Structure 1
Amino acid sequence: MKILNLDEICRQLISSAPRQLEPGHPLGTRLLSVEYSKSAKEIKTYPLLSSQRIFFLCWDFCGRNQLRAAMYPAPDRFCYRFAFESGAKTQRHTHDYIELGYVVKGNFRQNISGKDIVFHEGDVCLIDKNCIHQDYLSCQDSLVLFFGIENNMFEEVINEHITTEKIITFLQTALMKQNYLQQYIHFHPAANARKEIEPCLSLLLTELYENKTGASYICRGLLLRIFKILSTDYDFSLTREQQKNISWSVFEEVCSYIQTHYQSVTTRELMERFHFQRDYFNRLIRSKTGMTYSEYLQSIRLEQAKRMLIETDLTISEIAEQTGYHNKGYFYRIFTKKYNMTPGEYRKFI
Structure 2
Amino acid sequence: MKLFSPAIYNKSTISSCSGETMLKIEDFLKECFLQYDTENAHLYNVSALEEIRSFLHKEILNQFHVDIFLEETLSEDFFKNFDHDVFLVRHPRFLPAFPHSHDFFEIMCVLNGSCSNSIGGQTYMLQAGDILIIAPGTMHTISDTNEDSLIINLLIRSNTFDSNFFYILKDQTILSEFFKNTLYHNEKFSYLLFHTSVDSEVFTILTALYQEECDNKRYKNAVKNQLVELFFSLLLRNHEKDLCLPNPNGSDEENNFIFILKYMEQRYQNVTLQELAHFFHYSERHMIRLLKEYTGQSFSQNIQKIKLKHAAELLITTDLSQKQIASRVGYSNPNHLKKLFIQQYQMTPAEYRALNKEI
Q: Determine if the alignment matches structure 1 residue 45 to structure 2 residue 63.
A: no
State how far apart, in whole Å, the 2-side matches of 1:5 and 1:182 are: 31
Hey, what does 1:31 align to over in structure 2?
69
CA displacement 1:61-117 (0-9 Å, x = unmatched): 3xxxxx4xxxxxxxxxxxxxx6xxxxxx42222210011111111001010111110
Hey, what does 1:311 align to over in structure 2?
none
Hey, what does 2:357 align to over in structure 1?
none
Hey, what does 2:89 align to over in structure 1?
57
Q: 1:143 to 1:300 in 2, by over 3 A?
A: closer
State how far apart, in whole Å, the 1-side matches of 2:129 and 2:164 are: 22
1:24: Cα distance to partner?
Answer: 2.4
CA displacement 1:149-203 (0-9 Å, x = unmatched): 0112112212432688476345433675x7746411110115xx52112211111
Unaligned runs of 5+ residues in structure 2 are: 29-55, 250-290, 318-324, 352-359
State how far apart, in whole Å, the 1-side matches of 2:349 and 2:89 are: 52
State how far apart, in whole Å, the 2-side matches of 1:292 and 1:155 are: 36
Written as runs of structure 1 = structure 2, the 5 A alignment for 1:1-350 is: 5-13=4-12, 16-17=18-19, 23-25=56-58, 30-32=68-70, 42-46=72-76, 47-49=78-80, 51-61=83-93, 67=94, 89-161=96-168, 165=172, 168-173=176-181, 180=187, 182-190=189-197, 193-234=198-239, 235-241=242-248, 244=292, 247-248=295-296, 266-268=312-314, 295=336, 297-299=338-340, 301=342
Question: Does the CA-based 8 Å contact 1:32-1:90 persist in structure 2?
Answer: no
Q: 1:29 to 1:325 in 2, by over 3 A?
A: closer
Q: 1:54 to 1:245 in 2, by over 3 A?
A: farther
CA displacement 1:41-71 (0-9 Å, x = unmatched): x32212121841111121243xxxxx4xxxx
Unaligned runs of 5+ residues in structure 1 are: 34-41, 62-66, 68-81, 83-88, 259-264, 272-277, 306-321, 327-350
Question: Does the CA-based 8 Å contact 2:338-2:349 persist in structure 1?
Answer: no
1:213 is paired with a residue whose SS is coil
Amino acid at match of 2:85: R
Structure with bigger gyration radius = 1
Task: Considering fraction of residues, name the structure with more strand.
Answer: 1
1:130: Cα distance to partner?
Answer: 2.3
Question: Does the CA-based 8 Å contact 2:115-2:125 persist in structure 1?
Answer: yes
State how far apart, in whole Å, the 1-side matches of 2:335 and 2:171 are: 25
Aligned length in residues: 249
Question: Does the CA-based 8 Å contact 2:114-2:126 persist in structure 1?
Answer: yes
2:90 is paired with a residue whose SS is strand
State how far apart, in whole Å, the 2-side matches of 1:204 and 1:151 are: 18
State how far apart, in whole Å, the 2-side matches of 1:215 and 1:197 are: 20
CA displacement 1:184-235 (0-9 Å, x = unmatched): 1110115xx5211221111101111114221111111111111112112221
Amino acid at match of 1:198: F
TM-score of the superposition, structure 2-length normalised? 0.55
CA displacement 1:233-286 (0-9 Å, x = unmatched): 22112144377566349x89x97xx8xxxxxx8234799xxxxxx99xx79xx9
Amino acid at match of 1:56: L
Amino acid at match of 1:104: L
Question: Does the CA-based 8 Å contact 2:189-2:248 persist in structure 1?
Answer: no
CA displacement 1:274-312 (0-9 Å, x = unmatched): xxxx99xx79xx9xxxx999746414649999xxxxxxx
Amino acid at match of 1:138: T
**What's the C-alpha RMSD, in Å, of the aligned pairs?**
4.5
1:325: Cα distance to partner?
Answer: 7.1
Q: 1:200 to 1:91 in 2, by over 3 A?
A: same
Amino acid at match of 2:180: Q
State how far apart, in whole Å, the 1-side matches of 2:57 and 2:349 are: 64
State how far apart, in whole Å, the 2-side matches of 1:302 and 1:229 are: 37
TM-score of the superposition, structure 1-length normalised? 0.57
Hey, what does 2:281 align to over in structure 1?
none
Q: 1:303 to 1:121 in 2, by over 3 A?
A: closer
Q: 1:116 to 1:267 in 2, by over 3 A?
A: same
Task: Considering fraction of residues, name the structure with more helix.
Answer: 2
Q: 1:131 to 1:300 in 2, by over 3 A?
A: same
